[in-house]
Structure 1
Amino acid sequence: MSSRRAVVLGGTGGIGSQVVRELLDVSGRGGDDWEVEVVSRSGGPVADGLLARGAVGRPGDRRDTTFLRELLRPGADLLVDTVGATRDDALQLAPFLDDVGSTVFVSSKAVYADEQGRHANSLDKPVFGGAVTELQPTVTPADADPTSRDGYGAAKVAAEQVLLDHGAPVTVLRPSKVYGVGIGRPREWFVVRRVLDGRERVLLADEGRGVDHTTAASGIASLVRIVADAPDRRILNVADETAPTALEIVRTVAGHLGHTFDEVLLGEDAPRVRRTHALVGAVAVRARHHRCALARVGPASVRGGGRAGGRLVGRDGAPHAGRRGRAVGGRSVLGPDVRLRAGGRGAGAAVARAGLTGRSG
């Protein structure tokens, strides 16, 4: 059993902390031990909890070049960047990528644009003809303000391109509407605050049929662990197995809190109502020179802490060898019937979906 070093930038955030927990949970269970270093600007209850479970705290600013040099010059088996947002952020990592076995950059579904150039943060919502795959056009990359509506996606694309063009094994993950423990802006609050207020009614646009695909942070963490054992240069969408409607989400959260609403379902002609329908999908690239892999994962319950065995396999069913030349193996909480299809170096597409049972926070 060998020891492997993982560095998680933004390790106390909603996504980063889940990645840290995932790696710590699998350490010593018949595979490699992960030494996980948590990078954050300050401590707090989340950091204290992770350190108590065996993580190593590395206080510092991810955008401090001197700090990054000291942190990454020794090399790492896995580098996960959950906070990078701009071209400059990516350029700061570039000098160290050759010393990292597998790098994961967390991007966003917000990079995708429809035929009219509209994106997820546009005032006028995008209209996609179907599920959004990794082949969907993106907004134009730009050195824009990542905190602005139009700048967020453009800045993310610019960062993606720097990392992917480097040539090192970098996996870009594009989740959609992330939720889970520790997420800074919990999406369930729309429902929770109404329950706490004792409101009897809830008004939903378009009869509650709107869909905006969600992604469990725990599902992202499981995918990070999987791709750590199969480094490559690729872009992967990641989203839940199911895409519940607004009405289904309201009923699920309210039911969990023991509350029942009088549902007022507004029609399409209601003032200022526009239906939202955004699904995340994937496409398996089977063209010549592109190899494909499939992650077969059995049923699991994230809520109950259950886990199911999984592995990356080639199209012939044989175990897919990782960078170190050994068969990839692992365990996952991605939920039932997960399918991961990843293209080879230079092009590819994949999807990992986590069941709604992963909802938390």
Structure 2
Amino acid sequence: MATPLASSILQLLLGVDLAASDGTAGNRFAIEGLAWGPEKDGTASLRIDQLEAASLHLTSGELTLEIGRVAVRGLVAQIRSEAGAPQLVGVEAREAEFWGLKLHGPLRMPPRLHEAWTTAHATAPAAEAQADATSLAPLGTAHGTIRGKITDAHLLFDADVTVPLRGGQIDFNDATVEHVGPDSRMGVSRLGIYVDAPDGRSYIYQFASAPLAGVTFERRGALLSPWISERGKLQLQAFAESMLRCGRGQGGSGLTEQARLLLGRTSLSGDLQLGDGVFALSGLQGRLEGRDAGRNRIGLHSEAVGRGVMAEIDSLSVRDAAAAAKNAHLRCDTLQAKLKLQLVSEGAEMRFVLDLGSGTAAGLRFDRSAPQPDKR
């Protein structure tokens, strides 16, 4: 179990609390090679050759972090005394291995998703400041197929939906909606994403305004012709970035009531290969790599999309990963892991469970120093 000294060190290093354990197996860890010494600038260094932890439950606000087991090697913490109390300046670690790491809590996004990153890095070097804007570059070259099964849908009957993604683009001319009788067609107009069923057009997602980035709207044939010659296209990266920057990536905003009912009866499966490139949003950034080796491939699954969806990556590979929240900043040179992300709808609230089954991280840096105010 966690000793008082170990608990104090953990709270000092991470600024989190140990949740109550069962008194037998919870909150266990061991420290090897502990050394403490003063530095020339008035700080002190806490050095740990290896820190191993198992069955930890950590809490920070509404978030809970569960750790099955973690081993951190080559850890160095810089500590300064302020008003008679030790204050953490920064932590570095050569490498870490982890198993059964799970983070869960409510899913909430700020109106401007890049604001947290911009604030946290107001004094960061120019190379890091370039990541302030929302970026989803791995979607730009993604490819794969998403399949849905709509059961007992009033407008679409029992429908099988197939939406291919090629080169980061959804071409609705290639999307299919198959069911008994004449098949339906999907498309995108200035009002939103729709399905043309035998008994009329129904909008699955409605745009608050148009035009939006990354959207090629439907086109009709001859003047005043009722026939659609072009169903429209979505450039996924530009479209998703536009939605996020406008604050439309939250909850079910834009979904019609009819679409909500359909999603409650829609199962989902899919396989998407993400491209290489930088992602940056909501205080999180990194660079995906390893597309040619089949890394960062996502498997999607849901029994009912209206209740939630699961995404799994068997081989996540990220370089220059960083996360920022208020005055806490975490960076690592490389991260490789097996990842599972579950989004669950609980009434009006969305919750997430981020599960890293196993993985390694190298070149870790963590600090809790408050950013300096922008003097411009």
TM-score by length of 1: 0.26
Higher relative strand content: 2
Higher relative helix content: 1
Larger Rg: 2
TM-score by length of 2: 0.26
